Homo-oligomer: A and B are copies of this chain.
Amino acid sequence: MENKRKPYQLVSREWKKENTVINLKNTSIGNGNITVIAGPCAVENEDQIFTICEFLSKQNVKILRGGAYKPRTSPYSFQGLKKDGLILMRQAADKFNMNVITEVMDTNLVDEVAQYADILQVGTRNMQNYQLLRALSKIDKPVMLKRGMSSTMEEWLLAAEYILSGGNDKVILCERGIRTFETATRNTLDLSIVPLLKSVSHLPVIVDPSQGTGIRELVEPMSIAAVAAGADGIMVEVHNQPEEALSDGAQSLYFDQFSGLINKLKVSTAAFGRSLDVETEKILS
């Protein structure tokens, strides 16, 4: 689709024709199946994370999301449980044989987060935090790079290029909505970028319809739409008590909504000739 000389190289299809596959315990991202990543916005306490993790485990979800270090717009908002949150996520995930993805906000935290997480996430506010990207290029764990809320595709791919050019080729892209004039949704989920990314880059692409829309009821249709657009997976927020959540309650799914979503996704992905990773055999720990 694009013929002009691209400013990025290692992330491009021209450089590497085959899809990059990220191998994790029990599952892979980018192998053709649709990955489901789920969990609360933030780890709040032991009971919360274990309850959610157990529920997700029964749904055969393989990757638990949750924030331990939280980048909050206000210094007075809940900032996450920090290291305690990391420990709780790891314990819950280990008990239920799941993988952990969580955000790393600073170069000083890379080692600590890498100790507990299976995938390190770079948040939208740090997509162009180049020192952090360089630090992540030196570790041997996958990195999920969320799109900056006002980043063009080219800037996003160049941010990924920082990680690959530093030596870490295990990068996953995550579309999470961009900032526009529209306020009816929290962000504007840019699904068109998904097939465009798949065309110009070999990296797997995850879509986050929870952050992307900010409205719980839109998560199901936009998850299916994301898969229809060619995404390799979705990341959704689920909470045992959304109305009590310390952050992002309005966009977190109730458990029964999540089960319903999985059922709908199974049917749709089958129609697209693909499978959900939650449909693959569960490997007991």
Chain A residues with CB under 8 Å of chain B are 1, 7-8, 71-76, 105-109, 125-126, 128-132, 149-150, 152-155, 158, 161-162, 165-166, 178-185, 188-196, 199, 209, 212-213, 215-218, 221-222, 224-230, 267-268, 270-272
Contact = CB atoms under 8 A, between A and B. Distances in A.
A190 B228 CA distance: 15
Nearest to A125: B128
Given A225-B225, A228-B221, A267-B271, A181 B179 contact: yes
A130 B108 CA distance: 13
A227 B73 CA distance: 30
A213 B1 CA distance: 12
Q: Interface centre among A106, A158, A161, A230, by most B CB within 10 Å?
A: A106
A74 to B, nearest CB: 5
Contact of A185 (B193, B216, B222): B193
Given A130-B71, A196-B215, A153 B191 contact: no
B221 A195 contact: yes
A125 B129 CA distance: 7
B181 A194 contact: no
A74 B190 CA distance: 23
Contacts of A218: 1, 192, 195-196
A117 B126 CA distance: 24
